[in-house]
Structure 1
Amino acid sequence: MKLQKIDKQLYRSRLNIVIVACIALLAVSSLAISQALIYLFPSESGSNFHWNLLGVIVSAIGVVMTLIKLKTHPKMHEVAYVWDLKQALNLVYRKKRKLDAAAEQGNADAMLALQFSYDGSRQLWTLDDNTITMDSLNTAQAKLDELVEEHGVELDISNYDSAILKAF
């Protein structure tokens, strides 16, 4: 995955539209499905919990399928990019302990993966206005910069590919 420039205002407005649309679609469709099931299959005991639950589950599956189908739509570009970025950062995070150890030993691929993680996290946290943990990120970045200089490694973030994580 390559990091891209994203307009924060456009991202926030499109994310808000997606969130509101998902909530509305989930609420309306779950109620419609539940009521249809209750009408078609009334319960003698008066408890319709299972029909209500089924309505919510079917609606949630429908919303997820709709999001996956619309992921490639041009108006979803910013939201889909952040979605993919979070998944890519999660892959790096799962290997973080091994990457840190390998970076200490001078492994250039480990340093590249960490640099991608730091740059991606910085972008993600800026887009989401989550700057509280930026100090810890800056500390980790400074440590990585020291390792890069110590081992004479040159990092080009555009060369990052998630396939390098398989070695760790």
Structure 2
Amino acid sequence: MKLQKIDKKLYRSRLNVVIVTCIAVLAASSLAISQTLIFLFPSETGSHFHWNLLGVVVSAIGLAMTLVKLKTHPKMREVAYVWDLKQALNLIYRKKRALDAAAEKGNVDAMLALQFSYDGSRQLWQLDDNTITMDSLNKAQEKLDSLTEEYSVTLDITEYRSEMLKAF
């Protein structure tokens, strides 16, 4: 995955549209499905919990499938990019301990993965206005910078590939 420049205002407005649309579709479709099931199969006891639950589950599955299909739509580009970035960062986070240990020993791929993680996290946090934890990110970046200096390594995050993580 390559980091891309994203317009924050456009991303936020499109994300808000996606969130509001998902909430409205989930509420309307789960209500419609459950009410239809209750009408077709009424319960003598008056409990319709299972039909309501089924309506929510079916609606959520349908909404998820729709989002996957719409992921490539041009109006979803920024939102889909952030979703993909979060998944890529999550893969790195799962291997963070091993990456840190390998970077301490001078492994260039580990340093590259960490640099991608830091740059991606910085972008993500700025897009989401989550700058509270930026200090810890800056400290981690300083540590990585000292390792790259110590081992005379130049990092180019455009060379990062998620396949590199398989080694850790």
TM-score range, shorter chain: over 0.9
Report the residue type matching 1:43 in the other structure.
Answer: S
Instruction: Specify the alignment match of 2:137 in structure 1.
Output: 137
1:51 lines up with 2:51 in the alignment: yes
Unaligned runs of 5+ in 1: none
Structure 2: how far apart are the matches of 1:99 and 1:46? 56
Please give the per-residue CA displacement for 1:110-139, whole angstroms capped at 9, x wherever unaligned.
000000000000000000000000000000
SS in 2 for 1:153: coil
Counterparts of 1:63-102 in structure 2, within 5 Å, are: 63-102=63-102
Deviation of the 1:157 alpha carbon: 0.6
Deviation of the 1:44 alpha carbon: 0.7
Counterparts of 1:2-81 in structure 2, within 5 Å, are: 2-81=2-81
Instruction: Specify the alignment match of 2:147 in structure 1.
Output: 147
Structure 2: how far apart are the matches of 1:16 and 1:66? 17
Structure 2: how far apart are the matches of 1:159 and 1:32? 49
Report the residue type matching 2:124 in the other structure.
Answer: L
Deviation of the 1:76 alpha carbon: 0.1
Unaligned runs of 5+ in 2: none
Provide the TM-score with structure 2 as the length reference.
Answer: 1.00
Please give the per-residue CA displacement for 1:125-167, whole angstroms capped at 9, x wherever unaligned.
0000000000000000000000000000110110000000000
Question: How many residue pairs are counted as aligned between the two chains?
Answer: 168
Report the residue type matching 1:83 in the other structure.
Answer: W
SS in 1 for 2:56: helix
SS in 1 for 2:72: coil
Deviation of the 1:74 alpha carbon: 0.3
Instruction: Specify the alignment match of 1:128 in structure 2.
Output: 128
Structure 1: how far apart are the matches of 2:30 and 2:99? 44
Structure 1: how far apart are the matches of 2:151 and 2:87? 29
Structure 1: how far apart are the matches of 2:112 and 2:61? 37
Report the residue type matching 1:125 in the other structure.
Answer: W
Aligned-residue RMSD, C-alpha: 0.3
Structure 1: how far apart are the matches of 2:154 and 2:108? 8
Deviation of the 1:43 alpha carbon: 0.5
Percent identical across equivalent pairs?
A: 82
Structure 2: how far apart are the matches of 1:21 and 1:124? 22
Deviation of the 1:81 alpha carbon: 0.1
